[in-house]
Chain A
Amino acid sequence: MTIQTTKEANATVLTIDGRMDAVTAPEYEKALNELIAAGETAFVIDFQGLEYISSAGLRALLATAKLLKTKNGQIRLANVLGTVREVFDISGFGSIFQIQDSVSAALADLG
């Protein structure tokens, strides 16, 4: 898994490539926790290049989203596609996260 971080005007965009599994999910959690600790409160997570996600990946997403919520932060997911989308649907995560079709739509939604 690789994580690329881009600072936009109203949010930090994290572009995730590869696999979010039991081995790599902690890297995501660490990256996001560090950004939250540094005071960032608005995030867009771009899953365009995400090939695979298991419950460990969902666990990391949920833990960081909960932390962010306690700090009145906001998170949007973008490009949740194909088999990754299916995992979101069968876990119910498709309805607990706000998902947009593109990074630009997610940024616009954050306002």
Chain B
Amino acid sequence: MTFDTLKCAATLENLNQVIEFVEEAADRFQLATKKKFGLLIAVEEAFVNVCHYAYPDGQGDIAVSCGADNETFVVEITDSGAPFDLLSLPEPDTTADIMDRQIGGLGVHFIRTLTDQVSYRREEGNNILQMILHKAGDAPP
């Protein structure tokens, strides 16, 4: 699988650029609209998390890579911050009422819920979050 990669500073100003990059790749892959919408939310959550937490002492980069084969669309989000597995966070309580409701953890909940598969690995000093979506229907051509 070959990957197209966008590398940029991990700041919120680059959110639109990242989302457009992934959306174009997902369109080329002809990912179903509903799945694409979910994926773009998952990508925003992962990107924003890196912007907020990966580089507490200053500026750092983020790489967003998209790859596809016939069946699957893969997005990898890479940062070079301290080792951190987003997927180790506990699931949020999505039933608490308005005053008790905590927003933390909702981003990772969306990442889990809106992708078909998600995994974390630490590789050569980088955190890599891999999200996979299967082509809608999954029917063989």
Residues of A at under 8 Å CB distance from B?
21-23, 52, 54-56, 58-59, 62-63, 65-66, 69, 83, 86-87, 90-92, 95-97
Contact = CB atoms under 8 A, between A and B. Distances in A.
27 contacts: A21-B44, A22-B12, A22-B44, A23-B12, A23-B16, A52-B37, A52-B40, A52-B41, A54-B45, A54-B48, A54-B110, A56-B44, A56-B48, A58-B103, A58-B106, A62-B101, A65-B98, A66-B98, A69-B99, A86-B38, A90-B109, A91-B106, A91-B109, A91-B110, A92-B94, A92-B96, A96-B97
Main secondary structure of the interface of B (DSSP, over half): helix
Contacts of B48: 22, 54, 56
Contacts of B103: 55, 58-59, 62-63
Interface string B20-63: 00000000000000100110110011001001000000000000
Contacts, number: 65
* Count class of interface residues, chain B: 20 to 34
Given A23-B15, A69-B99, A91 B94 contact: yes
B98 A54 contact: no
A90 B12 contact: no
Nearest to A75: B98
A110 to B, nearest CB: 16
Main secondary structure of the interface of A (DSSP, over half): helix
Interface in B55-102: 94-99, 101
B115 to A, nearest CB: 12
A69 B109 CA distance: 26
Q: Which 6 residue pairs across A and B have the least CB separation, nearest first?
A: A92-B94, A55-B106, A59-B103, A55-B107, A22-B48, A83-B37
